[in-house]
Amino acid sequence: MKKTFGFNTLIVFLATLAVPGIGHAASLLEVYQQALQGDPRIHEAEARRLAALEAEPQARGVLLPQLDFFGSWTDREDSFSQTQEFPTGLQEFSTDREDEETFWRFQLRQTLFRWDQIVDLRRADKTVAKAEADREAAQQDLVVRVGQTYFDVLGAEDRLTSLHANRQAIARQLEQAKQRFEVGLIAITDVQESQAAYDQAVADEIGAKRSLATAREFLREITGEYVGSLSAPGDEFPMRTPTPASEKDWVDLALGQNLVLVSSRLDEKLARDEISYRRNGHYPTIELVAETFEQDTTRDLRSDLAIDPTVFVNADSNFKRDNSIGIEFRLPLFAGGATSSRVREAVYLHRAAREQLQRVTRETERQTRDAYLGVLSEMSRVEALEQAVKSSRTALEATQAGFDVGTRTIVDVLDSQFALYRAITNFYQARYDYLMNVLRLKQAAGNLQIQDLEEIDKWLIERKTPEEVFAEEAAASSS
């Protein structure tokens, strides 16, 4: 009994990771679908794409005829009085005037030549293409972010379960140490070392619970709601070498179709077009203008002489209608140097866009190589850690046997026990890292798709959350 308590705890720990949960455990694809509906970033990218799509109709619209209508109606009244000296004496008279005017105008303008509108039409295609690339990049980024937070939650659950199992094992070891001390088989220092290890294990478990809560919050931030239990890779999960099996081929793919790099190239082209656009301040504009208008004015004038009650009324009406068509030519001559300054500004911004493109190109190549090597190294690391778990289990059994016969100390047992749990946790974490490197490699190459999540989902199995495992352990111990 004393020889097997550490190994039995390990068996319980391994079983809790793979046993099916009571309810349905969400798969990676299901969490991604939730994020697709609830993630603000992907909705923001979609809204920006839709906004950018309006660049083409706007650029075409200004090249088509522009028709304007203007109309007004004015009614104005005023009056004044005046005193004037005549040979017969002072005379005072007042005048009232009322004007009514109706005016309307239709004006048609058709651009014959405007360089800024030509450049705008040329830039519209690039703006739409950039928006499409940015939206696709946001979708691929969502896949990676969901995968990262998903596996972060699984890793946090693994660490909590491992530390919980370690604390339970140390608790049993502490109990046995106290019993052996009471019968004089060990010194008090062994009890104190077990107690110190137990206190540290309690603190570690509290920290692991906090880390798990934080990981779940990050997942909720993307999906918009809390996700219960998650499916995890099963023991039969395969690891495959990337295809094509060449680092150079993956780099070539990335340099050709990485979406962030594609967007950066379009930024550089748009910045170059901006230089041409701002030079429009030096170029003439030619427009065809056709206009028709009508103006109708009526004026009533009433004057009343104070010394003569005779009132006279003068009414006047004026009607005018005009149609015209012509060509307007405008050539900017001098704008205080502002146009030249704006052109120089655009040149500097284009230079910055070129440097940004160079930076993104190098980053893309680095990320691709890193992800490719990460896939290969994690495959080897998973195999090595799987062997480390087996070796740590054997070492724990040997250390426990040595402790029972007095050749090993309690510290040796506690260290071997913790090394075993750490090896198990690292083994599972290495598998998560392998999957994330696969996703990042495909993202760097620009060919990450939802089918990649579907492929991973085939190898996921349901498992209980640590809370469910702890609840069942508590119920079993109380019964």
Structure tokens at 271: 């910045």
- Across the chain, mean pLDDT equals 87
Note the pLDDT tens digit of each residue in 366-392: 999 999 999 999 999 999 999 999 999
Contact partners, residue 250, CB within 8 Å, separation at least 6: 242, 244, 368, 369, 372, 441, 444, 445
% of the chain at pLDDT higher than 90 = 63
Number of C-beta neighbours around residue 400 at 10 A: 21
DSSP sequence for 180-248? HHHTTSS-HHHHHHHHHHHHHHHHHHHHHHHHHHHHHHHHHHHHSS----B-EE-TT------SS--HH
Q: What does R_g of the chain's alpha carbons equal in angstroms? A: 41
Q: Is 120 helix (H, G, I), strand (E, B) or coil?
A: helix
**Span 186-198, pLDDT tens digits:** 788 888 888 998 9
SS3 322: strand
Please report, for the chain, the start and end positions of each structural domain, with discontinuous segments joined by +: 5-64+114-283+332-478
The answer to which of 200-214, 395-409, 465-479 has the lowest mean pLDDT is 465-479
In sign, the C-alpha dihedral spanning 201, 207, 210, 211 is negative
Q: What is the pLDDT of residue 305?
A: 52
State pLDDT tens for residues 250-267.
Answer: 999 999 999 999 999 999
pLDDT value at 89 more than 80: no
Smallest Cα–Cα separation from 463: which of 167, 157, 144? 157
Q: Establish how many alpha carbons lie within 13 A of residue 89's alpha carbon, considering only the half-sphere containing its beta carbon.
A: 4
Residue 32 in this model has a pLDDT that exceeds 70: yes
- Six-digit token pair at 227? 């996700």
- Chain segment 153-184, per-residue pLDDT in tens: 999 999 999 899 888 888 888 888 888 888 88
Q: Given this model, what pLDDT does residue 93 score?
A: 67
The continuous run of DSSP H or E covering 130 comes out as: helix 115-182
Does the domain at 5-64+114-283+332-478 match CATH 1.20.1600.10? Answer given as yes
